[in-house]
Amino acid sequence: MTTLLLTGADVLVTHDDAGREIRDGAVFIRDGWIERVGGSAELDAWIAEAPAERCADRSVDVSGCVLMPGLINGHHHLYQTLTRSVGTSRGLALFDWLKTLYPIWGRMDAEAVYVSAKLGLCELLLSGATTVADHLYMYPNGSRIDDEIAAAQELGVRFHPTRGSMSVGESRGGLPPDRLVEDEAAILADCERVIGQFHDPEPGSMLRIGLAPCSPFSVSADLMRESARLARSHRQVRLHTHLGETIDEDRYCLEKFGLRPVDYAESLGWLGDDVWFAHMVHPNDGDIGKMAHTCSGVCHCPSSNMILASGIAPVREMVDRGVRVGLGVDGSASNDGNHMLGEARQTMLLQRVGWPGFESSADRMSAREALRLGTRGGASILDRDDLGSLEVGKAADLVAFRVDGLQHAGGQSDPVASLLTCAPASAWLSVINGRVVVEDGQIRGVDLPALIKCHNAAAAKLLG
């Protein structure tokens, strides 16, 4: 049995239903679960009532910090840390960008998948992320999803890897090269293997598998249907895919299927409370209504949507109409960073900017609401009612950002908002499942210089 006390937070942001923020806040953790939340004096008195049972094994002073739930990254491609700035530096849009990068990614092997995942997860940890959903949809040269799972388990990250897939190559009208697609029977067999070997559906789970055919332009309708059938035959296996990212995708779906992307997904059984889509930049009014009615989720990836010129997703409208929305970094080659606090900031800023049909409005998205999308919103799209807030009985995933330094000087009037209105900071402390993973801004047990050197060597090998 292990206990941990975090005490003295300048502000403790609970993100509970009431939106409580506690000055001089504290949290008591036992065996990976939150046992008490309140003011520091309140918790001191509570501990004093039964010191033998409640004296913490370790106490951490988090004064000078905003303490909040760990951020939840709802969509990523960790392997893309190997190819940052390739294509994006030339100003390529999504389809041309993918065609440029597919041959490079096709040179990956198991070691490249492992080291890129470990480096990307380290960067995410330092940005405040404690839970990460990743979408790995190609497996060249013997690589498997097992390789990135190994990296996450070594770091202690709460992980939602999705077994992605591509089965329709260029010769059949798809986007990826034929040599990078897989046989559909083999895909489904490996999905079954991965679920059986790794998936944990229980509360507090550190590892849950999802199934994620890549996109409407890289898999068949049969694979979409069979993936949904397989996922729904298991408990807590969710479905994920890219959808509605670009106008080009709209055109492709209309030409190929005679349907817009959301209508096509609906025709395949891909709407529901066990589905979340990446991007959803171009939904129409009917699309938003369908997603809200079916409780389908959306992961908003603002930086990627900007750098690939995909557009601005109507997050404000989706949220107001009841769509479950979380935040994601997306691939590190279309961002080109891994900073969840930065994505929350971009979400806030983009929703204030005008675009066709919406006038600019500075009050369209507050800092607090954007932060909440990164915690409660992320938990909702992953169907994790044990994550996303600091409440008794929730899993102990917390992050502390210092607000007493250079970046936040002068921001003491609202230290919570300053996390987004000021330059995004790095996590000073991160706790996952009750275990300290980041301390004093450093990831425990990781030799970052050695990891970076190994990662850059793998990247150079891909680029030839």
Q: What is the pLDDT along the chain (464 residues), one digit of tens a residue?
A: 799 999 999 999 999 999 999 999 999 999 999 999 999 999 999 999 999 999 999 999 999 999 999 999 999 999 999 999 887 778 888 889 999 999 999 999 999 999 999 999 999 999 999 999 999 999 999 999 999 999 999 999 999 999 999 999 999 999 999 999 999 999 999 999 999 999 999 999 999 999 999 998 899 999 999 999 999 999 999 999 999 999 999 999 999 999 999 999 999 999 999 999 999 999 999 999 999 999 999 999 999 999 999 999 999 999 999 999 999 999 888 888 899 999 999 999 999 997 777 788 888 999 999 999 999 999 999 999 999 999 999 999 999 999 999 999 999 999 999 999 999 999 999 999 999 999 999 999 999 999 999 999 999 999 98
**DSSP labels for 293-329?**
HHT-EEEE-HHHHHHTT-----HHHHHHTT-EEEE--
Query: Which pLDDT value is given to residue 359?
Result: 81
Query: Which pLDDT value is given to residue 63?
Result: 98
- Say how far apart CA 154 and CA 120 lie, in whole Å: 13
Query: Which pLDDT value is given to residue 338?
Result: 92
Let me know: does 367 contact 348? Beta carbons within 8 Å: yes
96 phi and psi, to 5 degrees?
-65, -35
Query: Which pLDDT value is given to residue 67?
Result: 98
Let me know: does 162 contact 135? Beta carbons within 8 Å: yes
Domains defined along the chain, listed by start:
3-69+387-442 (2.30.40.10), 71-381 (3.20.20.140)
- How buried is 69 (Cβ within 10 angstroms: 0-12 exposed, 13-18 middle, 19+ buried)? buried
List all residues 6 or more positions away from 95 whose beta carbon is below 8 Å from its beta carbon: 175, 246, 248
State pLDDT tens for residues 178-206: 999 999 999 999 999 999 999 999 999 99
User: Residue 336, preceding bond cis, omega within 30 degrees?
Assistant: yes
